[in-house]
Structures are given as structure tokens and as C-alpha cells.
Chains A and B, each alone.
Chain A
Amino acid sequence: MSRPRLLLGVQIATVVAILACVVALAALHPHRLDLTPERRFTLSAHTREVLARLHDDVRITAFYSSQEGVIRREMADLLALYQEAQPHIAVRLLDLDRSPGLSQRLGVSSYNTAVVEAGERRERLDLVTEETLTATLLDVAGTPPVVTYFVVGHGERDPRDGDERRGASEAARALAAEGFQVRALEGAAEIPADAGLLVVAGATRELPRAETDTLAAYLGRGGRALVLCDPGTPASVAGLLERFGIELALDVVVDEQARLFGTDGLSARVAYLNQALIPTPLDAQALLPVAQTLRLADPAPAGVRTDYLAMTGETAWADVDRRALHDGHAVFRPDHDRRGPLPVAALARIDGSDGREGRLAALGDADFVSNLHANVLGNRDLLLAVAGLVARGDALTGARPPAPPGGTFSPLMLTVGEARAILWGGVVTPSALLATAALWMARRRRLA
């Protein structure tokens, strides 16, 4: 080889090596600018919070089909975000068809499935999304699932009901994604032994004495319960709360000044959370449609410690006669009604008979967990934070990933006229003008 050729080879090799180093350095220090409106490629605050709690090594093995490049890429992108955010996480991405032994050992037989392993624990995900993956990490890496029973049979919100106004299936789905195994319980006469959390979501009919006694006994044994009370809650439920130092004020919260456009001023915004119990504020305030306030009994019953959990903003006031509910409009009376901030949630911690602490949280509204309201502002996050606090003793408050858009209905409704305007204004006219210019230039050149 001649000297110039050798020199050229060396020069090219040197430049390639330098550029490869630059690319490798960039790969080691990635920065990502997510410009999607819903931040689809950025881990949610909730996921980051969960990842920060991982102290043991976790291995995620995902199986893909080499023929489905788009799905594989999306899965790889998501797993890479987890790996970048938490060094304890190791990711393996394998072609299912080429890994028959490992897939069989891990019990995987379908594409786009992942297995999360931490120590001896192992969980399989059939759908790899941020929501499912984070829930699995929460479960596998130290936070066991909480068997959660929604008591039904007295007009409560039903976790199996998908009805937009009455049902609570959205709340159940959100809880399930956080490691709560949601089930329905017909009446509370007998509470299953595996119950980690009981939810009474808006009873409208009286609970028999036997059931309230069973619930009280359950709490006294270290049980955990979340009781959601709309204005007009039956006396039996109010009585149950009173046994643990929480009183329903039997009023209704009015907030004309801070009301949202299109609402009637009876929606209470949760402006403050008790930072001693829930240290990190929610990203968005929860909105309780038609709420009542709560009071703590003074003194609290023996063996019970009570605290307020959530307050409305200053602009809210308590309509003590519930005139706003009956007349549709009410004016604040300084000598009669109460000014905000008003307590709308409280927590009672009960010294259990066998040393386990019982916990009872009460909220002055149940509508906020209905399918209609569960995903409004911070409602879902409030429910999950309070459920986590009651069932597990700590609350994860980071904003959850946005729910994936469902269905095939497009938000873009184009009229025929608009579609034509786009076709002619954006496509046909510019290209026709350019084609005319090209023909004119060609003709001019021919004539020249």
C-alpha cells in the first residue's frame, strides 16, 4: 500500500474512532426533551417515587417478537427509562422464539410479556405499560399486595360497576394498578381474614347493627378501613365513625369563589393535606363534588389518636343547614355558617388488641371515586394516597401516569369543508405552483 493511501486510512480510522467516542459519551449521559403534551416519554412522579424506594436488585426480562418492531421498540424505550432512573434495575430484552428454554422457565408463552424478579419473588406482566410495570415493581420489590374489599349492599359505589355516574370501576382499576387486589364484599356481617383494607364508599342505606359492630371489632383488632360519606350518610355509618372520634358535621361545603367553570359552587377543592401524615403535596388538588365537613371528638376515645387529614381552601364555607342543597343557592351568614379552611378528611389510629395499629380514614365525600369524577384533577391521587396511608402506613403522592387514551374515537372532528381546505390549501395548491414553476423554468431553458 502506498504511503498516501496508508495515511488516508489512518486519518479515516482516527476520525471514526473520535466520533465513536463522542457517540459513546453521549450514550452515557443521555438528556431527553419530551415535547409530547402528556409527557408520554417521561416517567411519572409516582413511578420515580416507587423507583426511589427500590433498594434491592430487580431484573426485568421482556420477551418480544422480532417481527413486531414497533412494539419491541416501545417496550425497549419504556424499559430503558426505568433502567436509567434506577441502577438496581437490570433489563433483558429477548426474542421469545429464540429463547424457548428461558421463556419456559419463566412461564412465558406469548409475545410482549415481561417477568419482574426480585430475590425469590417473581411476577409476570401480560401488558407492559408504565402503570402495570410500576405496580408490579411495587409488589415484587417489597410492598405486598393489599386485599381490598369494597363493602356493597347498602347503596355503596360498586367496584364492579362500570356505569359512568354510579360505578366505581375506575377507582378499582386505579387501586389495582397500585397493588390493591380489589374485591366486592356483600355486607359486612363477616369480614374475610385476608382483608387488608375495607372500603365503604358512600352508603345510602342503614347498615345493620351487627355489621357496624363487626366493622368496629375489625378496626379494634388492627383492621384498616376507608369510609367515604356523602352528605346524607346513614346514621349507622356516622355512629361507627363516632366510636373512633370522627364526627360528620351534617353540613355541605360551598365554594363559590374557587368554583370551576361549569360547576355549581358545591364542589370542594382539597387545598391542604396534613403534611405530618402525607409529606408530599399532590400535584393537583382533588375536587370533591358535594362534600360535608368532619369534626374530631375532643377528647378522643380511649386508645384512639385522631388527626385531620385534608382541608378545603379559605374561600370555602360550611352551609350548616344545607340550604344550598335544597334551595340551589345560599349566602354565607357570618354568625351561623363556618368559614374555610374546613376539614373534609380525618384519620383515626386505633391501638389494636394484638398490638397491630388499626386505621380508619373518613372523607366527607364519596362521589369523587365515581367513574365520572375519579380521573378529575387530583381525585385519583387523593384516593390512592389515603388508601396507601391507611393500608400500608405511608402514602405515595406523586402524580400517576396519565391514563392511556382509550377507544378509537379521534378528538379531531373535521368537517368536509375543513378537510377540503387542508387538501387544497396544504397540498394541491403549493405543489401545483411549484410544478408550474418547474415547467416554466424548463421551457425558458429550452427557448434560451
Chain B
Amino acid sequence: MRKTLLICRRELAALFGGPLAYGLAAVFVLLTGYFFYSDLVFFVLFGGASLPAGLWRFVFLDYRLVALLVLPLLSMRLLAEERKLGTLELLWTYPVRDREVLAGKFLAALLVYLALLALTVSGPIVLYVLHPFAPGPVLAGYVGLVLLGTAFLACGTAASAVTENQVVAAMLTYGVLVFSWFVSWNEAAVGETVAPLLLQLSLFDRFYGFAQGVIDSRDVVYLVALTTLFLFLAARALGTRTWRGVA
């Protein structure tokens, strides 16, 4: 655990020592803020009487898209950059296990993501001060964003573990995530027996309940299971060096 935290701290220092984290945070906050404000204006003018259905649902569905855009950029460098610079091999010479390296880096990315999410709370807080509202649906939305973003980051970590090129890692992550979104888009293109299955597998459909203010144990378990699978794949990708002769 100590080694994991050490690697996490080192990763955070690397992230915040350069402009990347701040740039991503600025884009993240600007986009989420823009969506929040425009959804709010739309709700005030046309949105009907229910805050969860008329405002929060759209806000969190939009935040989800911003997470899709930003998180692969955050995760792409986790292992790929180290591999490209050769520092990963150096890291392997230390008495530290693969899973500790992986956990440390993933934890660092997750902490950055949580910090990004914390920055988005400013809009709802200002609104709450002006017009108090029931916080339950907002809480559910953020729980969903944490779980969905964790799965995104795990996917990005796995992609970053299989290549030394950051752009390839980011594109691979975008490919997997966007496919898991589009897979349930055109139900008319698949059979009626396949469509429900695809809906069950779609990452984004699993988020829909959270956006509406409902935390469903099935969605929580699915997102946690997917995160576990991606992290396992990342660990296996790192582990293959022993029989591929990488190190």
C-alpha cells in the first residue's frame, strides 16, 4: 500500500508539475459549466415543473460527454509515456510489483478526476444558494459520474498499458468507449433479441438511471465489474513482458 501511495504521489507531482492537468481542468470546468448554464437557461424558459427530469438529467448526460472527451487524455500518458521514455523499465528494477505500479497510477488519475468533478460543483452550489433544491438527484448524478469516470479511466489505463504511443492509447480508449456508446444507438439495425443485450452492455445506458436520480445496484455492479475487468487487462498487459521479452 505504501508503495502504491508513493507511486500515486509521484504521478500526481508529474501531472501537476506541468500544464496538462490544469489545461484539462480548465477545459473540463469550462465545458461542464457551459452545459450547466445552458441547460439551466433552457429549463427556466421551457423545462417544465420537475427539476430532476427537466434540469439534472440533461446536466449529467452532458457532463458524461465531457468526461468521455477529457478522461482518455488524462489516462493516455499513465503507462505509455513511461514506456516511451524508458522509465517503466527503470521502475521495474525497483522492488515494486506490477499491480502496485498500476494501482498507484490509476489512483492518481482517479484523484485528478475527482478533483475535476469537485470543481464542477460550483454551479449547482451557486444555484442552491439562490434557490434551494432537493439534493438527492444531484448526489445520484455525481455517484454515477464517479463510477462511469472510473470505468473510463480503467479503460484508458488498459489502453495505455498496451502501447508506448500516447495518441494511440487515447484513440484506443476513444474507440472502445465510443463504440460502447454507439452500440445501443441504432436499435433498428439489430434484432429485437440482440437489442436488449446490447443495452445491458452499453456503458452509457447504465448511466441513464443515475442521471435521473436513481441509484440502481445493477448499474453500480456493472460499472464496478467493468472497471475490474479493464484493470485486470491492464495488469495482464504489463505482465506479458516476462514472456514477450520486453524487459
Q: Which residues of A contact B (CB under 8 A)?
A: 2, 4, 8, 11-12, 15-16, 19, 22-23, 26-27, 29-38, 40-41, 66-67, 69, 72-73, 77, 94-95, 97-98, 405-414, 418-419, 421-423, 425-428, 430-432, 434-435, 437-439, 441-442, 445
Contacts and interface: CB of A to CB of B under 8 A. Distances in A.
B149 interface: no
Contacts of A410: 43-49, 54
Contacts of B222: 23, 26
B16 to A, nearest CB: 8
A441 B26 contact: no
A36 to B, nearest CB: 4
A23 B225 contact: yes
Interface stretch (B79-87, B88-96, B169-177, B213-221): B213-221
Given A428-B33, A442-B23, 14 more contacts: A32-B215, A33-B214, A35-B213, A35-B214, A37-B134, A37-B137, A40-B53, A66-B188, A97-B188, A407-B49, A412-B43, A419-B41, A422-B123, A435-B23
Given A407-B48, A425-B126, A15 B188 contact: no
A334 B30 CA distance: 70
Given A427-B36, A437-B22, A23 B221 contact: yes
B18 A95 contact: no
Nearest to A419: B41
State which size class the interface on B falls in. Answer: 35 or more
A434 B26 contact: yes
B196 to A, nearest CB: 8
Interface of B: 17-19, 22-23, 25-26, 29-30, 33-34, 36-37, 40-41, 43-55, 119, 122-127, 130-131, 134, 136-137, 139-140, 184-188, 192, 195, 205, 208-209, 212-218, 220-222, 225-226, 228-229, 232-233, 236, 240, 243
A35 B136 contact: yes
A405 B44 CA distance: 14
A94 B44 contact: no
A414 B136 contact: no
A40 B225 contact: no
A445 B20 CA distance: 11
> Which has the most chain B C-beta neighbours within 10 Å: A34, A73, A95?
A34
A66 B124 CA distance: 34
A193 B166 CA distance: 81
A326 B150 CA distance: 69
A67 B188 contact: yes
Given A34-B214, A36-B137, A431 B47 contact: no
A63 to B, nearest CB: 12
A410 B40 CA distance: 10
